[in-house]
Amino acid sequence: MTQFNIFVENTYKNFNVDEQKIYSDTVKMTQYIFKNKNIILNSCLKNYKYKTVSFDIVLVDNEEIHRINKEYRKKDSPTDVITFAIFADSEETEKFIFDGEINLGEIIISLDKIETQAKENNLTFIEELYYIIAHGILHLLGYDHQNENDYNFMVATQNKIKAEVL
């Protein structure tokens, strides 16, 4: 059985969230994903042997995600989520597994954007946050939404993952 090493950090000191609850619910979402063999068989983990999968979630404000978006994506605006998919985006010869552990990368989420989008989408803050966390995990696994089929798959899968913990 796969172990999960997930680190959740809120760097937005003026925005209170329950990091422990987000952590435990993210573990549940990740367990759900890993029980779905089709998701894993079509991910960047296909054909790899591992015992542990790790990734980080960093919660930030609009100012910080704007800075990151501008620096790394050349987009001069805040966004809801940015993923740095270390394992998925690496060349095959550069995909490292240390002591049976794969580091998938990092999900950076703007709590300001989540709050705004929750209101726009008629969702609770937690519903929107978990939808975006699910989105980030799928990106870390190598999924994208460059065409309509991929987009529809991601949206449907995100909703199923989110429903698993709400």
Domains in the chain and their CATH numbers? 3-163 (3.40.390.30)
Tokens of 110: 């703007």
Question: How far apart are the C-alpha atoms of 128 and 102, rounded to whole Å?
Answer: 27
What distance in Å separates the CA atoms of residue 21 and residue 126, rounded to the nearest whole number? 10
Q: Which pair of tokens denotes residue 80?
A: 């809801």
Which of the residue ranges 7-11, 94-98, 137-141 would you say has the lowest mean pLDDT? 94-98
Spatial contact of 76 and 29, defined as CB atoms under 8 Å apart:
no
The mean predicted confidence, pLDDT, of the chain is 96
Please, which residues bridge with residue 52 across strands?
3, 101
The per-residue pLDDT for range 151-160, each reduced to its tens digit, is: 999 999 999 9
Q: What is the pLDDT of residue 48?
A: 95
User: Is the separation of the CB atoms in 53 and 149 below 8 Å?
Assistant: no
Using 50, 70 and 90 to split pLDDT, how confident is the model at 8? very high
User: What's the CA gap between 89 and 95, in Å, rounded?
Assistant: 9
Read off the tokens for 125.
Answer: 């803050």
